[in-house]
Copies of this chain bind each other. A is one copy, B any other.
Amino acid sequence: MYPQCIREMMSFRDLLSMKLAEGDVARVVGTPNALSAVLAEGAGFDAVWASSFEISASRSLPDASVLTMTEYLAAAQDVQKAVNIPVIADVDTGYGGNLNVAHMVREYENAGITAVAIEDKIFPKTNSFYGSKHSLLDIDEFCSKIRVAKNTQRDETFFVVARTEAFINGLGLDVALERCNAYIDAGADAVLVHSKQTSNQEIIDFIGRWEGRAPVIIVPTTYPDWHVDDMAKLGIATVIYANQGLRATVSALSDTYSRILEEGKTTAIEDKIVPVQRIFELQHLKEWKQLEQT
């Protein structure tokens, strides 16, 4: 039987309660692997987002339900093992129908993940920014997925985020509100409202009519100049900086690789990159050596 897990670390639910009590926004950053997550924890983030976009991109594969739940779960679990802050796992559509959602909840809960975000696209999904036609799943079918998820969880702290792609699909505010209200009625613990406009207006309009029914999570990829303090004033619960880390990684790798070939040696880049000893720290080498002593 799947073990019921009680963690020493804080669950995402408890983190959110704490932040709400403080009137603060939970700051979350996308990470495709354990190393990134350790750096995010070190920098001071409250939680990490096991991003399907970053995980699939790390494999040089599209964010289009090509990788399987097995692979996304393994990535999210590796991340959670490495940090004491909670992981929010991006689980796309829940990987199929209701049975897939039930199986997903069992597997993620068993793996020690305390929060998942499921979105209202049809399986197989494509990334929100790909410019494909994104048909949304029928609202009742998605509510059914949420109910299955909530009925399946065994630990009361497990947290299910319902993500709507209504704005991404150009369906407007009324549809976004209708869907999010229905998702909360179905049992979702929070909503993630995604927009790819170059301003935050859709989100601001949404908040204006949401009436604080449940925590709202946002992903400001295309409106980067929205300050977190202004999000806090508006009552936004959580901000996810979903893909900036990976984009910074690509810039750094491209630059580093090119310079090595152009310069024929690595002298000039030595002071742009951390020493190997810093990597040892991130591998927890000292702690492992102590573990070995008896």
Q: Which residues in A have some Cβ–Cβ distance to B below 8 Å? A: 1-9, 27, 29, 33-40, 42-45, 53, 56-66, 68-71, 78, 80-84, 95-100, 102-103, 110, 112, 123-124, 129-130, 132, 144, 147-148, 151-152, 220-221, 224-229, 241, 243-258, 260-261, 264-267, 269-270, 272-276, 278-280, 282-285, 288-289, 291-292, 294
Contacts and interface: CB of A to CB of B under 8 A. Distances in A.
A292 B124 CA distance: 13
A63 to B, nearest CB: 7
Most chain B beta carbons < 10 A, residue from A4, A66, A228 = A66
Shortest 8 CB-CB distances between A and B: which pairs?
A: A3-B112, A252-B252, A68-B68, A43-B257, A147-B294, A247-B273, A70-B70, A34-B60
B99 A64 contact: yes
Interface of A is mostly: helix
Contact of A66 (B71, B99, B261): B99
B269 A244 contact: yes
Assembly stoichiometry (copies): 4
Given A57-B35, A220-B266, A257-B39, A273 B248 contact: yes
B60 A82 contact: yes
Contact of A53 (B37, B39, B279): B279
Given A66-B99, A112-B2, A130-B280, A275 B292 contact: no
A288 B65 CA distance: 12
A255 B248 contact: yes
A282 B250 contact: yes
A289 B274 CA distance: 38
A60 B44 contact: no
Given A5-B5, A7-B4, A124-B97, A35 B288 contact: no
A183 B264 CA distance: 30
Contacts of A29: 257, 260
Given A279-B243, A283-B63, A252 B254 contact: no
Contacts of A96: 65, 96, 123-124
Most chain B beta carbons < 10 A, residue from A2, A44, A152 = A2
A123 B94 CA distance: 13
5 contacts: A4-B7, A42-B254, A59-B78, A65-B96, A246-B279
B1 A151 contact: no
Nearest to A273: B247
Given A1-B8, A58-B34, A102-B291, A253 B248 contact: yes
B245 A62 contact: no
A135 B291 CA distance: 20
Nearest to A81: B2
Contact of A256 (B83, B244, B283, B288): B244
A227 B99 contact: no
